[in-house]
Structure 1
């Protein structure tokens, strides 16, 4: 049985480090070996610092996959869905590799990031690095709970990883990332009642707001599958920021990329009557990228095959 990377379905952590790379070396066998070595680093830090609940994810960019792993590709692999309507957009950032590191200790999260950077140094260039954190009881910096709809138990694996319908890539996950920047000055200028209407939930208790409308964030993100199932993706988003910039680093894992595509379409385009996600009036996506995070067995098998050639 194929095993998903541990970070795909890991429980929420206190800290995260996101690293985006472009590959600058033609030695693909070396890069494949480096990705397998990343998994070993994750395991080493998890064993050495078990109390920190370390986990990691390595994702390969949708446009880079065929170069790194020529031949067979995940059945539904697709580029990031570039969308724009009026001033709402989902920009794309060219990126070959994505590494997510999470832990309950900031020092361990940092130390593991340094190790990954050193490992990848000769073959890649760093596109972006973002350090994120858990805020209060799992809230965005706008004050509202982020991932209350995430499932638990085996349901997490069902919606976030590929099944037997694509057996060569079972255990893998379609990963989409976006970095959102909040306009906190405009957001804080709103009354709490107006904020709750935009989100569609109460701030204190996270209860549904009656008659919040078809443009609320809660309504526009409540996307169901073909058979009415909900949720259709696993949301691993975490806030990031400093004293001048605040935002949300959105990360989703799903068994099919259409889950994220449908979510994004609902938020940006909305319906035929112009009901889009009003939260986008106060939070803009500045980056976006699509990846596939293969199973542990796939990454290690491909690395061993390269060594034998």
Structure 2
């Protein structure tokens, strides 16, 4: 039976290292072997520093997949859904390989990242690295608890991991990544009541606003993906804040057994409902990157390293 990568459904951590690579080597065989070796790096650090709760995810960009694994294609693999409406947009960033490293120790994340980059040196170009961190009690830098609606327990596996609907890629996951930059100054100048209306939740205790009080443009309403019948469809978020004294934002990471939940969510946020009620949070935070990936199972990566 296919075994999913540990990082797909791992519990939240205190620190993360996100690495974005583009491949500059035509030798796909070398890349496949290197990726399989990176799994061993994750396992080594997980065993050596078990208290740090190490986990990792290797995901392959939608446009690079066929070059890396020719003839083997996940059923629903698709490019990142490029969207734009007025001044709201979801730009596309070409990216061949996304590697997520998470742990409860920043030094362990750093050490793993160094080994990964050394392994891939000469074969890829690292064009972006982001250090994520847990902020206070799981809040984003706008001060609200983030990913409150994430599935819990074993439900995470049902939501995030491909099952029997695509037998060749059982144990894999569709991954979408966006880097958001937030205008914290403008946000902090808003009255608390207005912030809560935009988020759809109370700031202090994270309670949802009542059905009669929640605005149609609230983030919690607009980011709640639904299928064509209006039934909620879920995805698993592993987003974390990032930043320094000059730049602040959120590295958004979603995982699901299909790309449809993410596309539905993004459409609702950017285009809004039939009355034009888009996600008002997008007036204060802006997507600067976006990429779509597939994270194959451990079994698949190891079995195809010598393809």
Q: Give TM-score, length-normalised by structure 2.
A: 0.97
Write the distance in 1 (CA, Å) between the matches of 2:145 and 2:184: 16
Computed over aligned residues only, the root mean square deviation of the Cα atoms, in angstroms, reads 1.1
Q: Confirm or deny: 8 A CA contact 2:242 2:248 kept in the other structure.
A: yes
Instruction: Write the deviation string for residues 243-273 of structure 1: whole angstroms up to 9, x where unpaired.
Output: 0000000000000001100000000001121
Q: SS state of the match for residue 21, structure 1?
A: strand
Matched, 1:23 2:23: yes
Partner of 1:196: 196
Relative to 1, partners in 2 of residues 1:226 and 1:5: Cα closer, same or farther, differing over 3 Å?
farther
* Number of the residue aligned with 1:65: 65
Q: Which of 261, 264, 274 lines up with 2:263 in the alignment?
A: 261
Q: Is the 8 A contact 2:233 2:261 kept in 1?
A: no
Q: What is residue 205 of structure 2 aligned with on the other side?
A: 205
The answer for the alignment partner of 1:223 in structure 2 is 225
Give the corresponding residue for 1:47.
47
SS of 1:119's partner is helix
Aligned mates of 1:127, 1:113 — CA distance in 2: 14
Give the conservation status (yes or no) of the 8 Å contact 2:225–2:262.
no
1:122 to partner: Cα distance: 1.5
2:277 is aligned, of 275, 278, 286, to 275
1:235 lines up with 2:268 in the alignment: no
How far the C-alpha of 1:224 sits from its partner, in A, is 3.1
How has the CA–CA distance of structure 1 residues 226 and 87 changed in structure 2, closer, same or farther, with 3 Å as cutoff?
Answer: closer
SS of structure 1 residue aligned to 2:139: coil
The CA deviation string for residues 46-87 of structure 1, in whole angstroms up to 9 with x for no partner, is 000000000000000000000000002000000000000000
Unpaired runs of 5+ residues, structure 1, are: none
Write the deviation string for residues 191-230 of structure 1: whole angstroms up to 9, x where unpaired. Answer: 1111000000000111112312110001001223467664
Question: 1:166-191 CA distances to partner (integer Å, 9 max, x unpaired)?
Answer: 00000000000000000011001101
Which deviates more, 209-218 or 78-87?
A: 209-218
Q: What is the CA deviation profile of residues 19-48 of structure 1, one whole-angstrom value per residue up to 9, with x for unaligned ones?
A: 000000011000000110111100000000
Moved more, 204-213 or 15-24: 204-213
CA–CA distance in 1 between the matches of 2:276 and 2:149? 25
Provide closer, same or farther for how the CA distance between residues 249 and 76 of structure 1 changes in structure 2, counting only shifts above 3 A.
same
| Contact 1:221–1:267, Cα closer than 8 Å, also in 2 | yes
8 Å Cα contact 1:225/1:232 also seen in 2: no
Deviation at 1:231, TM superposition (A): 5.0
Q: How far did residue 153 of structure 1 move?
A: 1.9
Contact 2:139 2:146 in 1 (8 A): yes
| Aligned partners of 1:149 and 1:231 also within 8 Å | no
Write the mapping of 1:28-39 to structure 2, written as runs, cut at 5 A: 28-39=28-39
Counterpart Cα distance in 2 of 1:228 and 1:205: 28
In structure 1, how many angstroms separate the alpha carbons of the residues matched to 2:290 and 2:81? 9
Distance 2:246 2:125 in 1: 26
- Tell whether the 8 Å contact from 2:57 to 2:295 is kept in structure 1 after alignment: yes
TM-score, normalising length: structure 1: 0.97
Q: Report how many residues are paired.
A: 305
1:172 aligns with 2:172: yes
Q: Aligned partners of 2:229, 2:276: CA distance in 1, in Å?
A: 26
Q: Is the contact between residue 181 and residue 248 of structure 1 (CA under 8 Å) also seen in structure 2? A: yes
